[in-house]
Amino acid sequence: MAAATFDRVVDLEFLDRLGEVADVRPGVLEEFSSPAARAALAGTQVLVTGWGCPPLTASVVADAPRLRAVVHTAGTVRDHVTPAVWEAGIGVSSAAAANAVPVAEFTLAVVLLAGKRVLEAAHEFALTRGRPLVRDAGGNLGATVGILSASRVGRRVVDLLRPHDLHVLLHDPYVPDAEVRALGAEPVGLTELFDRSDVLSVHTPLLPETRGLVGAELLARLRDGATVVNTARGAVVDPWALTAELVSGRLHGVLDVTDPEPLPADHPLWDRPNVLLTPHVAGSLGNELRRLTASAADEVGRFAAGQPFAHEVTVTTLEHSA
């Protein structure tokens, strides 16, 4: 992992937990090509990775003949786990489930704020400098929330929405209707999801087939005043189509991710009162990072005990996930 990642994520508690089940090499590898790195790899059975890890290419795998597991302290492994890892039979684990927790919490918060029209109310309140506002629209009682994709985050969002008086729709072509209902949502088709949602929350992983999935036609199906929440990846939503809808004022947006990221300084969305832009803060930050290392430490412990990973990543699961 990058040295900056090591400084942010790795603490003494994590190292102590690893030390209970393994001989831990002190320090951090930022690259795999130097003689020192190759020497370290030669004796490594478990490689703990994080943000900034370079790709585990065939040559890297060849330099690590004892390597049996890669345990990632973050979400997606797409940036560093290559086919050479799978071909060598090396197990892979990810802390994506742990990272889904704060993203889902963030989503719950903004869904409820969207229902209360907080963006609009705050803007008008500032303009009038405190003059009372009388509102007859908005509110969360019986509002419809659409969840696009039953990803780890999407599923957790559905669970967090359960105690509230909301109607939750879910679209995911890979999840049977019975499973969607068991999660606590109503299964619907893609167009129906947009037709019926007051708040539409995107949780689709960015894959070649999902780039631009939410385009102008789907956005146009949202009712006037609906809110689009995106905590997944900006490119899942057509940026031109979304910008047009938000600039017109017809839709509201809460965007923790954009395409590009960040937006150019002169982009019109920076100054829109109906848009909240946040700098990719939904994922693990601060003390939430301990959840990632705790998950990784648990996985290393399972490996040391000869047990299967609780959060294994396989070629098959990676086809439809981040």
d(C-alpha 108, C-alpha 187), whole Å: 19
Nearest to 236 by CA among 111, 175, 158, 148: 148
Beta-bridge partner residues of 227: 199, 252
Alpha helices in 67-184 (DSSP H): 83-87, 96-115, 118-128, 152-161, 177-183
**257 Cβ contact list (under 8 Å, min separation 6):** 230, 231, 232, 233, 234, 280
Annotate 249-273 with DSSP letters as a single string: TSSEEEESS-SSSSPPTT-GGGG-T
d(C-alpha 146, C-alpha 200), whole Å: 5
Which residues are part of the catalytic machinery? 233, 261, 280
